[in-house]
Amino acid sequence: MKNIKILTLALTVSLMAFNCSNDDDNNEIKVIVPDFSGTYTQEDQMGRPAVNTVFVAAADKDAYNVTIPTAQSAAFQSKFEANLLALSPAYADGGKNALGQDAAAFTGLLATDVLNVSLDGKTTFYDGIAKNTLSGRALTDDVITVELLLIFGGEDFTEFPGLSNDNVDANDKTFLTSFPYLASPH
């Protein structure tokens, strides 16, 4: 009995000692190199604002989120065009938007859902100046009104004025001029 007690104590002490040094090693490694191993598989994606929301049919939404940009046009352009023609009379009978695009051209642009960004100056979704069109997306850009105008506004942005502007032109909080640019949370 006594021998067993001593043996147990000895074992416990040695195990504790082993655990201590082992823990120290682990802690040191954890601080320096977190474990980022493994494969990460796509669930959502976004390029231009509102493309999946507006143009992708309900049944296709998940599929769209896991279709790489180079495969999107073949899979979805014709569906986008059908949805656009069904949604907006501005494109009927060869009607165009203010970028001079008919329904096929406009949806051809949108169906590869990447954001085009200039590295040479102003970055905006649309500001009325041709050379700046699709040069990025700034926080202050009223992208929904621009998209409504392109969907409903016709060749000169004057068709269906009641549908071409949601009359919300700015964020509820002022953006910062410096990093991280987004306003503090509510």
Partner 1 sequence: MAENEFNNNKNLKNMKNLKRVLGIGVIAVASCFVIAADHIDAPEVKGGSSDITDFYAFQGENTDNLVFVANLQALISPANTGSATFDENVLVEFNIDTNQDNIEDLVIQAIPRNGKMYFFGPVKPSQTGLNSTIETSTTIGGNVAISSYGSAANIATNNGMSFFAGPRDDPFFMDFAQYSAIIAGDASSFNMPGADTFAGSNVMSVVVEVPKSMIGGSGKINTWVESKRK
Segment 2 to 31, residues that bind partner 1, using CB under 8 A: none
3 state SS of 14:
helix
Query: Whole-number minimum distance, CB 186 to partner 1, in Å?
Result: 5
Q: Among all chains, which residue has been given the structure tokens 């320096």?
A: 32
Q: Candidates 8-16, 18-26, 58-66, 96-104: pick the segment binding partner 1 (CB under 8 A).
A: 58-66
Q: How far is the CB of 20 from partner 1 (least distance, A)?
A: 22
Query: Does residue number 165 form part of the binding site for partner 1 (CB under 8 A)?
Result: yes
Nearest 5°: the CA angle 97, 98, 101 is: 45
Residues 108-137 that bind partner 1 (CB under 8 A): 112-124, 135-137
> Which helix (H) or strand (E) is 87 found in, with range?
helix 69-87
Binding-site size for partner 1 (CB under 8 A) equals: 87
**Distance (Å, whole) CA 54 – CA 42:** 21
Among 9, 17, 87, 129, binds partner 1 (CB under 8 A): 87
- The structure tokens listed for 164 are 């071409």
Please identify which residue in 57, 74, 75, 129 interacts with partner 1, judged by CB under 8 A. 57
Burial class (CB within 10 angstroms; exposed 0-12, middle 13-18, buried 19+) of 127: middle
